[in-house]
Amino acid sequence: MTRDPSAAGPRHAEFEALYQRHGRAIWAIAYARSMDADLALDVTQESFLKLWKEWEAGKEIKNPRAWLIRVARNLAEDYAKSAFRRNGTHPPQLMNGVRSGEPLPLEALERDETFGQLREVLEQLPVGDRDILTLRYALDYDAPQIAELLSINATAVHMRLCRARQRLAERLAAQGVKPLS
């Protein structure tokens, strides 16, 4: 069911506009920490609901995007810690890169295997590098956009992106990962 935001009030419309504008970026921040798309989505929505509660409590947040990023980082790290306690180094569904028990066509199986290896290598990278990679490749952000979002300068983004790609290429080659057909 969809509601008309303008009918529900300006705060409601502002909330939905904020989610439309920054939801994906918050997801990317959460995903870079958890490497789990579903969990990142939960964290994203929880962060926005926390923002709503702050508004309801009458608190004024000057920079909602920065506030959301901070909350999403904390939540994702908390989730990652609790998941580590429950499951060890990898959540069960990520083992071998296979995320579903359903039979898959051969090509999709190969692709999932490659993605599984890539995920393992990505997990070994620093979180800061994963932030940049996720924003660059999931959301197609360019260096200035990433720099603005993460409050770092664009040169640092370029350097870290270049270094992260180099590390990835080396590690993937060591694992014998082939390019996607």
Partner 1 sequence: MSVSPPALPPRSAPLPDGELEHLLSAFYKSELPDPFPSLQAPTPLVERAYPEQAEPFAPAGGRRAPVASRVALAASVAVLFGSCWYLSGTRPEEGPAHDGNLINSGGSAKRIVIGGLPRPSDVPAPNPPGKSAHPTERGR
Q: Give the footprint of partner 1 on this chain (CB under 8 A).
A: 2-3, 8-9, 11-12, 15-16, 19-20, 23-24, 27, 31, 37, 41, 45, 48-49, 52, 55-56, 111, 114-115, 118-119, 133-134, 136-139, 165, 168-170, 172-174, 176-180
* Residue placing its CB nearer to partner 1 in the complex, 85 or 179: 179
Paired tokens of 105? 């066509």
Paired tokens of 168? 């990835």
* Residue placing its CB nearer to partner 1 in the complex, 12 or 163: 12
Question: Which residue pairs from 72-76 have beta carbons closer than 8 angstroms and sit at least 24 positions apart in sequence?
Answer: 72/26, 72/29, 72/30, 72/43, 72/44, 72/47, 73/29, 73/30, 73/33, 75/30, 75/43, 75/46, 75/47, 76/29, 76/30, 76/33, 76/34, 76/39, 76/40, 76/43
* Residue placing its CB nearer to partner 1 in the complex, 60 or 85: 60
Question: Taking the complex as a whole, how short is the minimal distance between the CB of residue 18 and partner 1, in angstroms?
Answer: 10
* Residue placing its CB nearer to partner 1 in the complex, 12 or 90: 12
Question: Taking the complex as a whole, how short is the minimal distance between the CB of residue 92 and partner 1, in angstroms?
Answer: 18
